[in-house]
Amino acid sequence: MNAVELHNLKKSFDGGNEFVLNGLNLTIPKGSLTVIIGYSGTGKSVMLKHILGLIKPTSGKVSVLEKDLWQMSDQQIMQLRTKVGVLFQHAALFDDQTVIENVCFPLSEHRRTKKIDEIKEISAKKLIISGIEEKHFHKLPSELSGGMRKRVGLARALALDPEILIYDEPTTGLDPILTEMVDDLIHETHMREEGRVTSIIVSHDLMAAFRIGQHIVMLDKGKVLHSGKPEDFLNSDIALVKKFVEKGIKKK
Amino acid sequence: MSIGSEKIESKKVSRFEKAVNSLFDYINGLICECGVTMIFLMSSFRAMFQKPSRYTEVLKHVEFIGNQSLLIIALTSAFTGMAMSFQIYLGFSLVNATNLVGPTVGLGITRELGPVLTGLIVAARAGGAMAARLGTMRVTEQIDALEVMGVNPIQYLVAPRVIAALISMPLLCGFFDFIAMTGSYFLCVQVLGLDEGVFFDKIQLWLNPRDINEGLIKAAVFGLVFAAVCTHKGYNTKGGAKGVGEATNKGVVNSMVLIIAINFVMTNIIRFFDVLLERL
């Protein structure tokens, strides 16, 4: 069973002159940890927005959890999104809500039958497994460090026990120690929920992709350039893949 | 005519053409903007009736738009009432008609100045805050986060603000009218020494409840206008801090221009129906 299927996906923002996604075909099996890499401007974020149903493709098919996204009504898409958790690049926490309120938010929206104490209890659990101590629960996001904000963002993404977890450039702008910490957190989260959760990480950090990825996909010019296990990338003959790998290793 | 003067003349014409073109572009842009904002407003109307209900959010925004505007409205209206009364007193004293100062101020305040000034003040204060808040949420991906959590951002962020503006504005306008008339009473009776009985008697004679209602209806429309314009600008913010600044600026400026223009149109429509009813 596949968690995500993109079939001949094309997207143009200027009426067909230039395609950001140009016939993209991608299958992400359920329960896998897939890292999507590529240079800037290769269509990674646009592809992610298609998976989330935020952008309508110019042509092609987007299936999430075996359901064709654009055959569904808005209400059904909204419902499907509750099965997908997203950790944004800058965490995107609601800045007028405390840490615990941020994590409670999706639960109070979609688990309306649950009592507030129950919701708080679930949120506290999610925060603790994401590495946030109780003393930080009533702080505002502006009072937290970058790494802690990511952890809270992860706890919020986990709140509804999603079947797909998407990480959008989770380590961008973090120092090497925090980068490793966030990578470990992603890996731990995936392992804890192994088999149930499909993790998709969009990144340009090659070393992180090698360290935690079970499956790596490289995009170029709106298409999949190469896809396979980490070791396949090291032995690849494709010039652009070689260059990306060499530069990534050198940088490290 | 010499060649030199012809050149100057053609330069003047091209400058005039440019000015006219840019004016038409501005008006064209404003009309297009109105259309897009109307569609946005319609989608927020649709969202108002969707589940779950957002009573808490509506109350929170009523408190922000209404309660937190009371002080500024009180100060503005008191001084407006006094200044207007003084000017009218100076004019009317020349023709010995000072007993009509009260109703003249009353009519001006309830029908025109009350709703317009309330609209302008609240659009600048609360409308600006709405555009900046939604703009910041857009550029920091908080609106995207809502969407991917399966929450309709228009229903959660826009609709409660529009309802709150619709509820708060007539209340604020009524408050403006009351304080402005209190200011007028203070100046006319306590400072200028007009007779208190005559002041109230003439107001009762000339000012009808429908004049007050006219102002309250206008205020509700202005609330709808600034809430729709400012939330639309904020919701569609592009870029970073610069984009938020531009959205706030455009939201407030467009709201103000629209409030003044719509006031003129509404006044004429209401007067037209007045005449029509009288003839019937």
Query: With respect to CATH, is domain A2-83+163-251 assigned 1.20.59.10?
Result: no
Bridge partners (DSSP) listed for residue A86:
A166
Contact B142 A86 (CB under 8 A): no
CB contact under 8 A, A81 and B142: no
**Phi/psi at B129 (5° precision):** -65, -40
Say whether A92 and B142 touch across the interface (CB within 8 A): yes
Please give the DSSP secondary-structure letter assigned to residue A20.
E
Q: How far is CA A55 from CA A46, A47, A84, A209, B275, in A?
A: 8, 9, 16, 26, 53
Residue A84: closest CA among B52, B51, B144, B53: B144
Residue ranges of chain A with pLDDT lower than 70? 194, 248-252
Render B153-212 in DSSP notation, one character per residue.
Answer: HIIIIIHHHHHHHHHHHHHHHHHHHHHHHHHHHIIIIIIS---HHHHHHHHHHH--HHHH
ipTM: 0.84
Residues in CB range of B150: below 8 A, 6 or more apart: A78, A79, A80, A81, A82, A106, A109, A110
Contacts of A106 in chain B (CB under 8 A): 149-151
N- to C-terminal Cα separation, chain B: 62
pLDDT in tens, B185-230: 999 999 999 999 999 999 999 999 999 999 999 999 999 999 999 9
A11, A50 Cβ separation under 8 angstroms? yes
Phi, psi of A26 (to 5 degrees): -150, 135
Contact status, residue A218 vs residue A229, Cβ threshold 8 Å? no
Contact residues, A window 97-126, toward B, CB-based 8 Å cutoff:
105-106, 109-110, 112
Within 8 A by CB and 6+ apart from A193, the residues are none
Cα separation of B44 and B160, whole Å? 9
Q: How far is A106 from chain B (nearest CA, A)?
A: 6
As a whole number, the mean pLDDT across chain B is: 91
- Which of A82, A93, A95 lies at the smallest CB-CB distance from B150? A82
Instruction: Give pLDDT tens digits for B18-75.
Output: 889 999 998 898 788 889 989 999 998 888 888 888 889 999 999 999 999 999 999 9
Distance set, CA A9 to CA A48, A217, A227 (Å) = 12, 16, 17
Q: Which residue of B has its CA nearest to A77?
A: B150
Contacts with A90 from chain B: Cβ below 8 Å:
140-141
Q: Does residue B245 carry a pLDDT above 90?
A: yes
Do B222 and B170 form a contact (C-beta atoms < 8 A)? no
Domain hosting residue B172, numbered range: 3-279
Backbone dihedral angles phi then psi of residue A116, each to the nearest 5 degrees: -60, -35
What spatial distance separates the first Cα and last Cα of chain A, rounded to whole Å? 36
Nearest-CA distance A35 → chain B (Å): 20
Q: pLDDT band at B118, cuts 50/70/90?
A: very high
If one counts the domains in chain B, the total is 1
Helix (H) or strand (E) segment spanning residue A43:
none
Both tokens assigned to A56: 């309508």
- CA dist B23 and A70 (Å) reads 43
CB A60 within 8 Å of CB A24:
yes
Contact A84 B148 (CB under 8 A): yes
Mutation for testing the A interface, residue in B148, B154, B161 having most A CBs under 10 Å = B148
Per the CB < 8 A criterion, the answer to whether B100 and B92 are in contact is yes
DSSP 8-state code for residue B108: I
pLDDT tens for residues B99-108? 999 999 999 9
What does the pLDDT look like over A42-74, one tens digit per residue? 888 889 889 988 888 999 999 998 889 888 888
Interface A–B counts its CB contacts (< 8 A) at: 49
Give the rounded percent of residues in chain A with a pLDDT score beyond 90: 21
- pTM to 2 decimals? 0.84
- All CATH 3.40.50.300 domain ranges of chain A, comma separated, are 2-83+163-251
